[in-house]
């Protein structure tokens, strides 16, 4: 447990940041998992509906400095490649 007042404040702020980061991660992880399941099931129509949701969540994560820009573009590229591979 923190002893000094600054350490207590740091603990409080890190707890808040943790919740915020978990929410941000869930925003693009959940649709991505769903997308991958649909791709393995070869359900192209349902998977294509999720693509804009994934793109938007990744862009927001980049904007909030949760992930880097190249990570987001790599993920987007892999999503579109997986969708094209179904056809």
From first to last of the 87 residues of the chain, give the pLDDT tens digit.
Answer: 889 999 999 999 999 999 999 999 999 999 999 999 999 999 999 999 999 999 999 999 999 999 999 999 999 999 999 999 987
Whether pTM > 0.85 for this model: the answer is no
List the domain range (segments joined by +) for residue 23. Answer: 5-86
Q: How far is CA 87 from CA 21, 60, 78, 83, in A?
A: 35, 29, 15, 7
Residue 43, SS3 per DSSP: coil
Say what the pLDDT of residue 86 is.
87
Say what the pLDDT of residue 1 is.
87
Distance of alpha carbon 29 from alpha carbon 25, whole angstroms? 6
Distance of alpha carbon 11 from alpha carbon 14, whole angstroms? 5
- Could you tell me the CATH number of the domain that includes residue 61? 1.20.58.110
Tokens of 37: 């399941």
Count the neighbouring beta carbons within 10 Å of the beta carbon of residue 62: 16
What total of structural domains would you count in the chain? Answer: 1
Say what the pLDDT of residue 34 is.
95
């Amino acid at each position: 447990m923190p002893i000094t007042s600054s350490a207590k404040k740091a603990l409080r702020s890190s707890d808040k940041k943790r919740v915020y980061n978990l929410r941000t991660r869930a925003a693009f992880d959940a649709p991505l998992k769903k997308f991958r399941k649909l791709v393995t099931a070869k359900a192209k129509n349902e998977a294509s509906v999720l693509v804009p949701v994934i793109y938007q969540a990744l862009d927001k994560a980049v904007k909030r400095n949760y992930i880097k820009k190249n990570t987001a573009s790599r993920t987007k590229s892999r999503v579109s490649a997986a969708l094209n591979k179904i056809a």
